[in-house]
């Protein structure tokens, strides 16, 4: 049993004044208003926040020169990362996630280290999440085509000098993709091995431009049969929009519906370039869109039509996608950014703070199969974010509500404590379950060594990127 007294509770029921919250194990046992004269700490308590799209990437990608590069060039650059111990590679981002105010996060596992078999690696990722105290959904990344560009990669290879071509063939084309059947079997083995109340295993097709129709159909069938959720990137960039329009003239979202993938079990990351009729179909199906505002800035993808999504009735969650605005995994700043960009100008009110709170406190959690509902009430999970309200309101000139304080200046820097399933996962400014500084030092030193060993690839990157830029810019990625 544990008791927290606070000045303010902010949840989806609204804001409440001084309260006492009683926790019993991993549940909230009681919540009651304090009586006049009862002492309390000057804290703001909220339900835990969910990061509805991410990959658990070990380190900031601007550190390998990724900043400001379009997705289609940035993805290739990630091969500068050497494979490292999967526990280390996951524990560091999970530590950053909990320090960034996240209580639950999607791990769309696209960056396989490959030093052991896949199931062993997934177990290490789950162990790291357990140590960090982060609830995760682990989406097994699935793809089986288009390793270089969206379509035939031969013109790219033909345009490269022999040295660059050799590097590219070795880095991107030397391992044939697994069959759809083998990928489905691998997913079942992972689910069997790491599925738990804190780890939800999901299908993670990487995108319609990276998965054959057969693979997507197998996933749709598997999801319908097992009830397991599906997490996929969709229409992140204008080049993906172009690919979808050329290959699915009936409409890519309609196609997803036709094959049974578009369902309440589906999360679509991005939808930056989705059209109004597509948003209507997504809303009608009850699928959720995870928007990734900062990532869309960093990779020059565009601005997602968030107000239109909400108006259409789409469920919306908020993702960090490994690239928060300050590259620090701060989901509190991220929700402010979403509101700032989409709230409407002047007296127009397109998106309300309450809708942004609904995204991080409820919709995001639902996509991760996390039990958090955005309410602080008896019986709810003991997943709480405890912020320093006194510091947030340091001016203290007059009474200003918690929503205004949070959306004007909130960041994870105000985090006093984070509790997930009844356990303190952040205290005193750091992850309680990890030697974060030690792990980060070790990871950085291994990755530095890895980059140095990849000098040959680093040297041909400018040539590859110039070729890719020409390919996408001149022909919109059309081979």
Q: Which of residues 59-88 bind Zn ion (CB under 5 A)?
A: none
- Look up residue 257 and give its two tokens: 């519906």
List of long-range contacts for 407-410, beta carbons under 8 Å, 24+ apart: 407/335, 407/336, 407/339, 407/353, 407/356, 408/336, 410/332, 410/333, 410/336
| Shortest Å, Cβ 53 to Zn ion | 6
List of long-range contacts for 119-125, beta carbons under 8 Å, 24+ apart: 119/186, 119/189, 119/190, 119/193, 121/86, 122/190, 122/193, 122/194, 123/193, 123/194, 124/85, 124/86, 124/87, 124/90, 125/56, 125/86, 125/87, 125/90, 125/194
Q: Which is nearer to Zn ion, 321 or 334 (CB)?
A: 321
| Shortest Å, Cβ 244 to Zn ion | 17
| Shortest Å, Cβ 322 to Zn ion | 7
Q: Which of residues 176-205 bind Zn ion (CB under 5 A)?
A: none
Q: Which is nearer to Zn ion, 290 or 373 (CB)?
A: 290
Q: Which is nearer to Zn ion, 200 or 321 (CB)?
A: 321
| Shortest Å, Cβ 108 to Zn ion | 6
| Shortest Å, Cβ 320 to Zn ion | 10
| Shortest Å, Cβ 304 to Zn ion | 13
Q: Which is nearer to Zn ion, 298 or 386 (CB)?
A: 298
| Shortest Å, Cβ 47 to Zn ion | 24
By three-state DSSP, how is residue 233 classified? strand
| Shortest Å, Cβ 71 to Zn ion | 9
Distances (CA, A) of 243 to 72, 145, 287: 13, 13, 22
| Shortest Å, Cβ 296 to Zn ion | 10
Q: Which is nearer to Zn ion, 321 or 465 (CB)?
A: 321
Q: Which is nearer to Zn ion, 321 or 358 (CB)?
A: 321
Closest alpha carbon to 217 in 249, 184, 241, 177: 184
Q: Which is nearer to Zn ion, 156 or 298 (CB)?
A: 298
| Shortest Å, Cβ 147 to Zn ion | 17
* Residue 231 host element (H or E): strand 230-234
Q: Which is nearer to Zn ion, 8 or 293 (CB)?
A: 293
| Shortest Å, Cβ 14 to Zn ion | 33
- 10 Å CB burial of residue 67 (0-12, 13-18, 19+) is middle
Distances (CA, A) of 52 to 118, 217, 290, 368: 23, 24, 6, 7
Paired strand residues for 417:
386, 427
* CB of 208 closer than 8 Å to CB of 242: no
Q: Which is nearer to Zn ion, 31 or 309 (CB)?
A: 309
Number of residues forming the site for Zn ion (CB under 5 A): 1
Q: Which is nearer to Zn ion, 74 or 414 (CB)?
A: 74
Contacts with Zn ion, 299-338, as mask; x by CB under 5 A: ----------------------x-----------------
Please report which residue ranges of 83-179 form alpha helices under DSSP H: 86-99, 118-132, 154-159, 162-172
| Shortest Å, Cβ 88 to Zn ion | 21
| Shortest Å, Cβ 137 to Zn ion | 13
Reading phi first (left if > 0) and then psi (alpha if -120 to 50, else beta), residue 35 is in beta
Place of tokens 């085509």: 145
Q: Which is nearer to Zn ion, 9 or 269 (CB)?
A: 269
In whole angstroms, what is the distance from residue 105 CA to residue 171 CA? 29
In whole angstroms, what is the distance from residue 113 CA to residue 129 CA? 16
In whole angstroms, what is the distance from residue 54 CA to residue 310 CA? 21
* Residue 203 host element (H or E): strand 199-205
Residues in the chain, overall count? 479
* CB of 142 closer than 8 Å to CB of 211: yes
Q: Which residue is nearest to Zn ion (CB)?
A: 321
Paired strand residues for 389:
none
Q: Which is nearer to Zn ion, 72 or 321 (CB)?
A: 321
Q: Which is nearer to Zn ion, 272 or 426 (CB)?
A: 272
DSSP 34: P
In whole angstroms, what is the distance from residue 313 CA to residue 297 CA? 25
Distances (CA, A) of 32 to 5, 136, 377: 10, 30, 9
Work out whether the CA dihedral 270, 274, 279, 281 comes out positive or negative: negative
Task: List contacts with Zn ion (CB under 5 A).
Answer: 321
């Amino acid at each position: 049993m544990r008791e927290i007294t606070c000045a303010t509770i902010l949840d989806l029921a609204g804001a409440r004044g001084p309260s006492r919250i009683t926790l019993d194990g991993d549940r909230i046992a009681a919540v009651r208003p304090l009586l006049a004269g009862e002492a309390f700490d000057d804290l703001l308590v909220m339900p835990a926040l969910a990061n509805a799209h991410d990959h658990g990437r070990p380190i900031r990608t601007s550190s390998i020169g990724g900043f400001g590069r379009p997705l289609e060039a940035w993805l290739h650059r990630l091969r500068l990362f050497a494979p490292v111990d999967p526990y280390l590679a996951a524990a560091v981002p999970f530590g950053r996630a909990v320090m960034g105010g996240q209580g639950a996060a999607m791990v769309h596992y696209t960056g396989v280290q490959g030093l052991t078999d896949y199931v062993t690696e997934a177990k290490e990722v789950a162990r790291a999440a357990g140590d960090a105290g982060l609830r995760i959904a682990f989406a097994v990344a699935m793809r089986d085509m288009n390793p270089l560009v969206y379509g035939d990669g031969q013109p790219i290879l033909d345009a490269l000098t022999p040295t660059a071509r050799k590097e590219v063939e070795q880095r991107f084309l030397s391992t044939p993709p697994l069959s759809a059947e083998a990928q489905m079997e691998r997913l079942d083995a992972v689910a069997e091995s790491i599925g738990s109340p804190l780890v939800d295993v999901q299908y993670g097709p990487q995108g319609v431009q990276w998965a054959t129709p057969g693979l997507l159909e197998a996933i749709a069938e598997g999801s319908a049969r097992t009830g397991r959720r599906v997490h996929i990137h969709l229409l992140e960039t204008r080049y993906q929009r172009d690919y979808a329009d050329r290959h699915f003239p009936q409409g890519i979202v309609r196609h997803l519906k036709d094959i049974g993938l578009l369902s309440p079990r589906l999360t679509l990351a991005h939808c930056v370039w989705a059209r109004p009729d597509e948003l209507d179909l997504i809303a009608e199906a009850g699928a959720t869109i995870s928007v990734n505002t900062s990532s869309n800035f960093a990779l020059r993808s565009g601005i997602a039509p968030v107000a239109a999504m909400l108006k259409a009735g789409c469920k919306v969650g908020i993702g960090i996608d490994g690239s928060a605005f300050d590259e620090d995994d701060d989901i509190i700043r991220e929700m402010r950014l979403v509101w700032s960009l989409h709230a409407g100008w002047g007296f127009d009110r397109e998106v309300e703070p309450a809708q942004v709170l609904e995204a991080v406190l409820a919709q995001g959690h639902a996509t991760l199969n996390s039990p958090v509902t955005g309410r602080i009430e008896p019986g709810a999970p003991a997943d709480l974010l405890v912020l320093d309200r006194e510091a947030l309101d340091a001016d203290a000139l007059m009474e200003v509500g918690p929503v205004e304080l949070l959306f004007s200046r909130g960041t994870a820097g105000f985090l006093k404590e984070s509790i997930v399933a009844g356990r303190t996962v952040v205290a005193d400014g750091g992850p309680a379950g990890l030697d974060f500084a030690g792990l980060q030092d070790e990871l950085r030193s291994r990755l530095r060594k890895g980059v140095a060993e990849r000098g040959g690839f680093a040297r041909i990157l400018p040539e590859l990127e110039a070729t890719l830029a020409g390919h996408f810019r001149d022909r919109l990625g059309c081979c």
